[in-house]
Each structure stands twice: as structure tokens, then as C-alpha cells.
């Protein structure tokens, strides 16, 4: 557990990176058996998720 004094300077968007990695690895591990294919597809999916979230952030920033 993070102490409140350390959590004050923590930006929540840094938590998105481990979430993207975990979701893409678990999703692709349930679909494929070969480790090379799992890693390759996970990397591609991670880039897609990151691009979609980044694009959404830009759009929301422009509307605000």
C-alpha cells in the first residue's frame, strides 16, 4: 500500500502502462499457445490500446 505522502506526487496516468501490458498479455495468452505469437500479438494490441487512449485524451483535451 502506498503511503499518502508518496501518493500525493503520483500521476495516475503512469498506472495505465502496466494495465495495458497486463490486459494485452492475458487476453492474447488465452487465445494463442505459442509464446512468440503471444508476445507479437500483445505488442500490437498494446500499441493499439495506447494509440486509442492517446487519441481519446487529445480529443477530450480539445473539447475542454
* pLDDT tens-digit map of 2-59: 556 566 666 777 888 999 999 999 999 999 999 999 999 999 999 999 999 999 999 9
Whether the pLDDT of residue 60 is over 70: the answer is yes
pLDDT at 13: 77
pLDDT, residue 12, reads 75
Q: Which of 48, 59, 60 is nearest to 20 (CA)?
A: 48
Alpha carbon distances (Å) from 54 to 1, 12, 64 = 28, 14, 15
pLDDT at 6: 60
pTM: 0.76
Amino acid at each position: 500500500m502506498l503511503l499518502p505522502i508518496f501518493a500525493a506526487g503520483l500521476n495516475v496516468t503512469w498506472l495505465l502502462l502496466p494495465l495495458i501490458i497486463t490486459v494485452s498479455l492475458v487476453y492474447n495468452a488465452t487465445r494463442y499457445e505459442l509464446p512468440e505469437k503471444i508476445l507479437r500479438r500483445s505488442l500490437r494490441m498494446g500499441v493499439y490500446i495506447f494509440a486509442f487512449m492517446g487519441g481519446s485524451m487529445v480529443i477530450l483535451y480539445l473539447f475542454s
